[in-house]
């Protein structure tokens, strides 16, 4: 049995695991990613990246690749609620993404998970990660200093012991890390335990797309198993995926599957070629959230931490953002510039959002696909603008202010308070229009309205703590210009004040007025759990 020592072991090479590896690499931390399957996913699965996710991907240098990975064949997407793919239709609409340009400088993207994983895997390798397929986590134990894991290489039968400072469980909703760590779960129970088959098939039903590049069909049909199913297009014209719930003991043969596809498409005798089938099971839950996202040196991300219906398309985005928000914290702790307690903020910040997101996705499922499950306990569906940009962490790695805040605020009227997303404000640098969000990268950023004491404060804090703080004086002689005059109000400071933004674009602290001796250093110590 061979031994090796690494900084971070990531279990699972899906969106969460690969994103964690990418963003760790951005911060200079190599990782080993192990995946029990022999390859990356060949199913399209989650599709679409929201602007906030694209901002994160831009810091890793892959945002443009995601834009280029969109399906060809049209500029629009269609969503249909119907009895079958070809009708009768209960509701349909061409999906046009909202204009979020006032909230983010980034675009939407429409990459499938199949293509997204490949982009992320290539970038993770570029940044120093090693990805090992056909390798499963057999067991692990942890103490105050490390995690010791036993890995089983399925193709050879070899076993090796890996010692890591931290382990990230990103092995999906069927993964073992959460259970091995002794973390319980909670959520909405399904009426009965079901498995979902994701059936890839080829057929000629392009007429139902109305010329769109992407189509999503929510089917409500008593002739289908469980009365409901979803058909979605893939990256390849003429190829589709049928997501179909089955009972726990059902094992349909190919002949029955072909007939189910014909019923779902509404075309008797349709020529159908089945190309792949994969099973997924959430057990007894429709939604499921881990009771904690941290167990000692084990941290959970993606579906291992939170499982939700796909209705709304935010599960994949949340998986990427879990890695984005976690990676800088791991890097800071590993480098010694932060205390280990910083990692407690992963649970404090990401779990409340996951809880809310799971309820939003469930409410969408009731509305679009399963009205028979409506019982009045569903959440009120949030305006997408609020849900995507308005989350305010109730606790975490920031200096809290008095008065508290709701879990979501109106991002069109941002508070700029610590724990919220740093607002997008248009700035100008020379002839180029940029965003305040573009100033966020891989380190801490201090945004000022021109107060003269802040550069000296940042220098003193950097010398005391070894933490680099980039200072940008908005409206100052050497800083970007405030195009619309919104910067001070959006961030809740005066012309003498400043705001500290974390590497992941979350407001960490703000000082409405002039700097006091040691204020910034004390704020950084609090954020980084030093002392």
pLDDT in tens, 281-304: 756 788 999 999 999 999 999 999
* Greater model confidence, 91 or 401: 401
Across residues 366-376, what is the average pLDDT?
Answer: 86
Three-state SS string over 482-495 comes to ECCCCHHHHHCCCC
The pTM (predicted TM-score) of the whole model is 0.92
- 358: part of which helix (H) or strand (E)? helix 344-368
Are domains 2-70+108-185+287-384 and 391-527 of this chain identical in fold?
Answer: no
CATH number for domain 391-527, candidates 3.40.50.720, 3.40.30.120, 3.90.420.10, 3.40.50.300: 3.40.30.120
* Tens-digit pLDDT profile for residues 77-108: 788 889 999 889 888 776 677 899 999 999 99
- CATH superfamily assigned to domain 2-70+108-185+287-384: FAD/NAD(P)-binding domain (3.50.50.60)
Query: Alpha-carbon distance 435 to 300, whole Å?
Result: 32
DSSP per-residue string spanning 194-238: -EEEEEEEE---GGGGTT-SEEEEEEE-TTSGGGEEEEEE-SSTT
Q: Are strands 159-169 and 2-11 parallel, antiparallel or unpaired?
A: parallel
Please give the pLDDT value at position 416. Answer: 96
Would you state the pLDDT for residue 72? Answer: 63
Closest CA to 132 of 26, 11, 23, 25: 11
pLDDT surpasses 80 at 146: yes
Contact partners, residue 12, CB within 8 Å, separation at least 6: 33, 34, 35, 169, 170, 171, 172, 175, 177, 302, 304
| Higher per-residue confidence, 459 vs 2 | 459
Q: Is the pLDDT of residue 426 over 90?
A: yes
Judge contact between 34 and 18, C-beta under 8 A: no
To the nearest whole percent, how much of the chain has pLDDT over 70? 96
Query: Per-residue pLDDT for 189 more than 90?
Result: no
Segment 313-324 mean pLDDT = 96
Any bridge partners for residue 426, and if so which? Answer: 435
pLDDT band at 531 (very low <50, low <70, confident <90, very high): confident
pLDDT reported for residue 228: 78
**215-258 pLDDT, tens per residue?**
889 898 999 987 778 999 888 889 999 998 887 788 899 999 99
Question: Which of 339, 340, 338, 358 has its CA nearest to residue 299?
Answer: 340
- Strands of the sheet containing 288-290, edge to edge, are 185-186, 288-290, 306-307
Mean pLDDT of 422-437: 96
Average pLDDT, the chain: 92
Residue 371's pLDDT band, with cuts at 50, 70 and 90, is confident
Q: How confident is the model at residue 387 (pLDDT cuts 50, 70, 90)?
A: very high
- What integer pLDDT is reported at residue 452 of this predicted model? 81
Residue-level pLDDT at 42 = 80
The one catalytic residue in 166, 218, 240, 324 is 218
DSSP 8-state symbol, 380: P
Q: How confident is the model at residue 516 (pLDDT cuts 50, 70, 90)?
A: confident
- On the question of a cis peptide bond just before residue 364, with omega within 30 degrees of 0, the verdict is no
Among 11-25, 32-46, 414-428, the range scoring the smallest mean pLDDT is: 32-46
pLDDT at 75 over 60: no
pLDDT at 209 over 80: no
pLDDT tens track for 38-63: 999 887 788 899 999 999 999 999 99
Q: How far apart are CA 6 and CA 313, in angstroms?
A: 34
Which whole number is the average pLDDT over 485-502? 96
Instruction: Tell me the domain boundaries of the chain.
Output: 2-70+108-185+287-384, 391-527
pLDDT of 475 over the 90 cut: no
166 flagged as catalytic: no
Instruction: Assign 192 a pLDDT band (cuts: 50, 70, 90).
Output: low
Q: Which pLDDT band holds residue 2 (cuts at 50, 70, 90)?
A: low
């Amino acid at each position: 049995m061979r031994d090796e020592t690494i900084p971070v072991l990531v279990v699972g090479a899906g969106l969460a695991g690969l994103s964690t590896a990418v963003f760790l690499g951005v911060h200079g931390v190599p990782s080993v990613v192990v995946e029990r399957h022999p390859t990356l996913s060949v199913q399209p699965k989650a599709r679409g990246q929201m602007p906030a996710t694209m901002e994160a991907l831009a810091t890793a240098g892959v945002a443009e690749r995601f834009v280029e990975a969109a399906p060809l064949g049209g500029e629009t997407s269609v969503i249909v609620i119907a009895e079958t793919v070809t009708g009768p239709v209960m509701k349909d609409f061409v999906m046009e993404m909202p204009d979020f340009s006032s909230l983010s400088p980034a675009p939407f993207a429409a990459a499938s998970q199949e293509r997204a994983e490949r982009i992320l895997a290539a970038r993770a390798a570029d940044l120093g990660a090693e990805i090992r397929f056909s390798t499963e986590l057999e067991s692990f134990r942890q103490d105050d200093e490390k995690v010791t894991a036993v890995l089983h290489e399925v193709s050879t039968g070899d076993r090796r012991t890996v010692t890591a400072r931290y382990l990230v469980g990103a092995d999906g909703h069927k993964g073992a890390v959460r259970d091995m760590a002794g973390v319980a779960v909670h959520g909405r129970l399904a009426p009965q335990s079901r498995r979902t088959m994701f059936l890839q098939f080829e057929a000629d039903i392009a007429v139902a797309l109305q010329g769109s590049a992407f189509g999503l069909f929510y089917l409500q049909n008593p002739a289908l198993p469980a009365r409901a199913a979803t058909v979605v297009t893939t990256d390849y014209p003429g190829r589709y995926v049928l997501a179909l719930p089955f009972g726990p003991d059902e094992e349909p043969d190919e002949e029955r599957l072909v007939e189910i596809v014909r019923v779902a498409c509404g075309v008797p005798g349709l020529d159908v070629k089945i190309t792949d089938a994969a099973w997924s099971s959430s057990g007894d839950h429709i939604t499921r959230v881990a009771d904690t996202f941290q167990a000692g040196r084990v941290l959970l991300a993606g579906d291992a931490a939170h499982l939700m219906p796909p209705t709304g398309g935010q599960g994949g985005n949340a998986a990427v953002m879990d890695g984005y928000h976690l990676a800088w914290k791991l890097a800071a702790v590993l480098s010694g510039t932060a205390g280990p307690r910083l990692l407690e903020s992963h649970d404090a910040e990401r779990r409340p959002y996951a809880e809310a997101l799971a309820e939003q996705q469930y409410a969408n499922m009731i509305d679009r696909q399963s009205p028979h499950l409506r019982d009045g306990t569903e959440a009120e569906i949030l305006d997408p603008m609020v849900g995507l940009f308005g989350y305010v962490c109730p606790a975490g790695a920031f200096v809290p202010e008095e008065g508290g805040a709701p879990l979501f605020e109106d991002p069109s009227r941002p508070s700029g308070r610590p724990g919220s997303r740093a607002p997008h404000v248009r700035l100008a640098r020379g002839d180029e229009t940029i965003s305040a969000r573009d100033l966020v990268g891989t380190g801490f950023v201090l945004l000022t309205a021109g107060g003269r004491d802040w550069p000296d404060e940042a220098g003193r804090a950097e010398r005391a703590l070894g933490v680099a703080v980039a200072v940008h004086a908005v409206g100052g002689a050497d800083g970007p210009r405030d195009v619309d005059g919104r910067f001070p109000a959006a961030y809740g400071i005066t012309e003498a004040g400043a705001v500290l933004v974390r590497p992941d674009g979350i407001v960490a602290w703000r000082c409405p007025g002039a700097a006091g001796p040691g204020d910034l250093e004390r704020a950084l110590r609090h954020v980084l759990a030093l002392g």
